[in-house]
Structures are given as structure tokens and as C-alpha cells.
Structure 1
Amino acid sequence: MKIIEHQANGINYYTLVNNHHMSVTIMDWGATVTAIKTHDKDGEFANVILGFDNGEDYITYQSFFGATIARVAGVLKNARWRGYDLTQNFGEHNLNGGNMPQIAFEPWFLERKLQTSEQVGLVMQYITLDGENGFPGTMTITANFILDNTGKFTISYTGKSDKATLFNPTNHAYFNLSGDADRLIDHQVLKINTDEYCALNKHGIPTGKLPWVTGTPFDFRERTEIGPQIAQIKDGLHHGFVLNQTPHPQVELLDRVSGRKVTLRTNAKAVVVSSATNYRDDRYRINGGKPMRSQLGLSLQPQMLPDAIHHKEFGNIIIEPNVPVTYQTAYQFSNIYDV
């Protein structure tokens, strides 16, 4: 187990490496996961998330690849809560905590490194001041990133505020388990342990309805190829799913060609899945000089459902003064062809 450090253009990178050569790279700007390298069926390692070739591009383009999103992931309709006017950066709404500043593109402080015979990790911290983006309370957000020898990568986000405020963080990595940014995700296979999804209006705002997935393109309760389902959903997947509380993995994504698989367990109540449909930008150079294309990655964002402040059944994202709240997600990586 080791941690490899390097710096380029004022950005610090930390690569966590386990004893089986799996690695995770995190940069301090945005507490961003820039690469996760795992092996395929032939033992070849490749990066299974989308990431810019140049670290500065994360800051320039602000596209959330692998970034920590806080204080609040997703949309808050009308950008107002308990009389507080929040930053409007998605029409009249607040998106991903606002952009004055956008925490996903600000430098985080490395509090300490963790290293034992079985795991390596980082503890990063960001302090967002009372009134930033309109939110009440000075909040300390602590991010823990831990990789162990079994191939489990765990992300924990803890928020503590001196006033009642909102907290619903997530990580916004886009997965492509092929390890090849020339291959779309259409033939990769998704399974979600869920019965309900979050309906959206034409502007992408939750309606408050949680329809059953049965008989819809949102039914991923069994292993299902992603492409045919996305083809039935206008603008693709950008939807939240209510996760069942179960001892089994709540989300599973696999690629039969490479054999790579990741499963997810979280204490958050939902996962927001985005297929990056119609997401194309020829300015971007990702994963070795490739242009960003539609359906090149699938983001799996554990969180409470977006806009929870307006829908009681979505869960509570209010945290009380001086009472820390932690969201934790474990991503277990493996290969289906390993014996």
C-alpha cells in the first residue's frame, strides 16, 4: 500500500495504490477523483472513469467530472429556503450548491494521509462561510477517500455547521468500465435495487412524484443493457432512484467485454444516474486525447433525492447546528472473470 504524490501547475495529486496495483488518483482542487485504474480479464489496467488530460481543464470547463459536489447536489427549485435567497445558477434555480464560489472547483486542504498494511487514504477539508451562495452557517466539510486491498474504494463526506443549513453532497464521477474512451456505455449492464424513480418535468426539475419502475425504461431491477433503455428516454437518464435498504449491493455496473464490475453501497437514500446523453464538447480532451461524446460515461451519484426541501417523502437534508452528518459510499471493484 502506498501513496504517490506529484504537483503540476499548482495542483496537487495523490495516487492511492493497493497491493494488487489498483489505484485511485485524487486532486486537491474540488477534492476530485481524476482516475480509477483497475484490471481487465487479461490483467491490463486502465482508467474506468472519465477525466481531463490536463488538471487545469477541470477548473476551466467546470464539468464536474469526478468532483465533490456540496453543499447540496442537484437542483433546489426557486433557489430559496427558509427565507434565504440562494445563488441562482440554473435559471431561477440553484444547481449543485451554486457557483459563488462553486465548491467543486475550489482548492481543498489536505488534513492528513492514512496508511496501514490494508488501506491507504486521504482526509481533505473545505470550509464554506456563512452566507456563501446564500446558505446559512459556516460549514466544515470533510472528505475521506480510502482504498483497501480488496478493491473497495470508500468516499465519506461529513458536514458540520454552526447554524441549521442544508447538506446533501455527492461525487460526480462518470464510469466507463471498458477503460476505453472510444467505447460508449450502451452495452454495459446496470442493476439498481429500487422500486421507484424520481419523475422530472421538461426542465429537469423533480415533479415530486415517485412512479414505480415496473413497465418503464427505468426498470433496472435485473441486469439490463443500458443503451436500449436510454433510447426510450428523451434526453437520456438524469434521474434519481430510491434505493432499497438491503444487505446486497444497491447498484451494480459491469462490462462483459473487459469483465470489470463495480458495486455500490451507500447510506444515502437514493442514487442519481446520468447517461451523459447529448453531452458533447469537442474542446474537452479526456482519457488520452479523446473528445467527449454522448453516452461515453455513466455517473452514479449517491445522495438524497434532488430538491428534497420541497418534497417530504424525498428525505431530510437539513442538518442542525453543531451536529455532524456523514454520507458514506463504498465502491467495490472486481472482475467477473477472476477465479
Structure 2
Amino acid sequence: MKILEHQENGINYYTLVNNHHMSVTIMDWGATITAIRTHDKDGKFANIILGFDEGADYIDKQSFFGATVARVAGVIKNARWRQYDLTQNAGENHLNGGNMPQISFEPWFLERKLHTSDQVGLVMQYITLDGENGYPGTMTITANFVLDNDGKFTISYTGKSDQTTLFNPTNHTYFNLSGDAERLIDHQILKINADEYAALNKHDIPTGKLPWVTGSPFDFRDRTEIGPQIAQIKGGLRHGFVLNDTPYPQVELLDRVSGRKLTMRTNAPAVVVSSATNYRDDRYRLNGGKPMRSQLGLSLQAQKLPDAIHHKAFGSIIIEPNVPVTYQTAYRFTNIYDV
């Protein structure tokens, strides 16, 4: 187990490596995951997430690849909570914590490194001041990233504020288990242990309704190929799913060609799944020069459902003064062809 470090153009990178050569690279800007390297059925290691070729692109293009999103992930309709006017950065709405500043593209402080015989990790912090983006309270957000020898990578986000405020963080990594974005995600297999999903209006804002997935293209309760389902959903997947609380993984992603498999378990009550459908930009050079294409990656954002402050059934994202709240998500990476 080891932690490798390097600096490039003022950005600090930390690579967590376990004894089986799996690695996770995190940069201090945005507490952003820039690479996760796992092996395929032939033992070849490759990056299984989407990432820019140049570190500065994460900051300049602000596209959330691998970024920590806080204080509140997703949309807040009309950018208002109680008497507080939040930053309007998505039309009249508030998106991903606002942009004055945008926490996902600011430098985080490395508080300490973790290193034991079977785990390596980082603890990063960001302090967002009272009034930033309209939120009340000065909040300390702590991000823990831990990799173990069994291929489990755990992300924990803890928020603590000196005033009553909102907190609903997530990580915005796009996965592509083919490795280095060799193929679209269409033939990869997804399973989500969720009976309900959050319906959206024509502006992609939750309506508050939680339809059952039965008989719909949102039914991933059994292993299902992603492409045919996405083809039935206008604009593709960008929806939240209400997770069932089970002792086994709540989300599974599988690529039969490479054999790579990801399982996810979280204490958050939902996961927002995005297939990056219609997301194309030739200016973005990803994973060794590839342009961003529709359905090149799949994000699995563990959180409470977006716009929760307007829908009681979504759960509360209000946190009280000096009472820390932690969201934790564990991803385990394996290969189905390993014996």
C-alpha cells in the first residue's frame, strides 16, 4: 500500500495504490477523482472513469468529471430556501451548489494522509463561508478517500456548520468499465435495487412524483443492458432512484467484455444516474485524446434526491448547527473472470 504524489501546473495529485496495483488518483482542486485504474480479464490495467488529459481543463471547463459537488448537489428550483436567495446559475434555478465560488473547482486543503497495512487514503477539507452562494452558515466540509486491499474505494463527505443550513453532497464521477473509454456504455450491464424513481418535468426538474419502475425503462432491478433502456428515455438517464436499504450492494455495473465489475453501497437514500446522453464536445480531450461523446460514461451520484427542499417525500437536507452529517459511499471493483 502506498501513496504517490506529483505536482503539475500548481495542481497536486495523490495516487492511492493497493498491493494488487489497483490505484485511484485524486487532485486537490475540487477534491476530484481523475483516474481509477483496475485490471481487465487479461490483467491489463486501464482507467475506468472519464477524465481530462490536462489538469487545467478540470478547472477551466468546469464539467464536473470526478468532482466533489457541495454544498448541495443537483438543482434547487427557483434558487430560494426560506428567506435565503441562492445563486441563480441555471436559469432561475440553483445548480450544484452555485458558482460564487463553485466548490467543485476550488482548491481543497490536504489535512492528512492515511496509511495502514491494508488501507491508504486522504482527508481533504474545504471551508465555505457564511453567505457564499446565498447559504447561511460557515461550513467545514471534509472529504475522506480510502482504498483498501480488497479493491474497495470509499468516499465519505462530512459537513458541519455554525448555522442551520443545507447539505447534500455527492461525487460526480463518470464510469466506463471498458477502460480508457474504448467503447460506449450501451452494452454494459446495470442493476439498481430501486422500486421508485424521481420523475422530471420538461426542464429536468423533479416533479415530486415517485413512480414505480415496474413496466418502465427505469426498471433496472435485474441486470439490464443499458443501451436499449436509454433509447426509450427522451434525453437519456439523468434521474434519481430511491434505493432499497439492503445488506447487499444497491448498484452494480458490469462489462462482460473486459470482465470489470463495480458494486456500490451507500448510506444515502438515493442515487442519481446520468448516461451523458447527447453530451458531445470535441473540445474535451479525455482518456488519451478521445472527444466527449454521447453515452461515453455513466455517473452514479449517491445523495438525497435533488430539489429535496420542495418535496417532503425526498427527505430533509437541512442540518443543524454544530451537528456533523456524513454521507458515505463504497465502491468495490472486481473482475468476473478472476479465479
Instruction: Please give the TM-score of this superposition, normalised by the length of structure 1.
Output: 1.00
Conserved 8 A contact 2:241-2:270:
yes
Conserved 8 A contact 2:49-2:180:
no
| Matching of residue 298 in structure 1 with residue 304 in structure 2 | no
In 2, the alpha carbon distance for the partners of 1:105 and 1:163 equals: 24
Aligned residues: 339
| Matching of residue 242 in structure 1 with residue 215 in structure 2 | no
Correspondence for 2:270:
270
In 2, the alpha carbon distance for the partners of 1:194 and 1:61 equals: 33
Correspondence for 1:85:
85
Correspondence for 2:158:
158
Amino acid at match of 1:219: D
In 2, the alpha carbon distance for the partners of 1:155 and 1:283 equals: 30
Correspondence for 2:200:
200
In 2, the alpha carbon distance for the partners of 1:289 and 1:181 equals: 10
Q: Deviations over 1:155-189 (max 9, x none)?
A: 00000000000000000000000004231000000
Correspondence for 1:169:
169
Amino acid at match of 2:74: G
Amino acid at match of 1:273: V
In 1, the alpha carbon distance for the partners of 2:243 and 2:28 equals: 30
In 2, the alpha carbon distance for the partners of 1:209 and 1:45 equals: 42
Correspondence for 2:121:
121
In 1, the alpha carbon distance for the partners of 2:147 and 2:117 equals: 11
Q: How far did 1:258 drift?
A: 0.2
Correspondence for 1:228:
228
In 1, the alpha carbon distance for the partners of 2:30 and 2:61 equals: 13
Q: Deviations over 1:100-155 (max 9, x none)?
A: 00000000000000001100000000000000000000000000000000000000
SS in 2 for 1:186: helix
Q: Which runs of 5+ in 2 are unaligned?
A: none
- Runs of 4+ with deviation above 2 angstroms: none
Conserved 8 A contact 2:112-2:123:
yes
SS in 1 for 2:227: helix
Give runs of aligned pairs for residues 1-339 of structure 1, distance below 5 A: 1-339=1-339
What's the Cα RMSD here? 0.4
Q: Deviations over 1:198-256 (max 9, x none)?
A: 00000000000000000000000000000000000000000000000000100000100
Q: Which runs of 5+ in 1 are unaligned?
A: none
Conserved 8 A contact 2:185-2:226:
yes
Conserved 8 A contact 2:51-2:66:
yes
SS in 2 for 1:326: strand
In 1, the alpha carbon distance for the partners of 2:16 and 2:249 equals: 24
Amino acid at match of 1:293: R
Amino acid at match of 1:86: L
Amino acid at match of 1:319: I
Amino acid at match of 1:48: I
In 1, the alpha carbon distance for the partners of 2:28 and 2:329 equals: 20
SS in 2 for 1:133: helix
Conserved 8 A contact 2:236-2:277:
yes
Amino acid at match of 2:34: T
Q: Deviations over 1:9-46 (max 9, x none)?
A: 00000000000000000000000000000000000000
Conserved 8 A contact 2:50-2:180:
no
Amino acid at match of 1:294: S
Amino acid at match of 2:15: T
SS in 2 for 1:57: helix
In 2, the alpha carbon distance for the partners of 1:46 and 1:318 equals: 40
In 1, the alpha carbon distance for the partners of 2:306 and 2:45 equals: 35
Amino acid at match of 2:53: D
In 2, the alpha carbon distance for the partners of 1:226 and 1:81 equals: 36
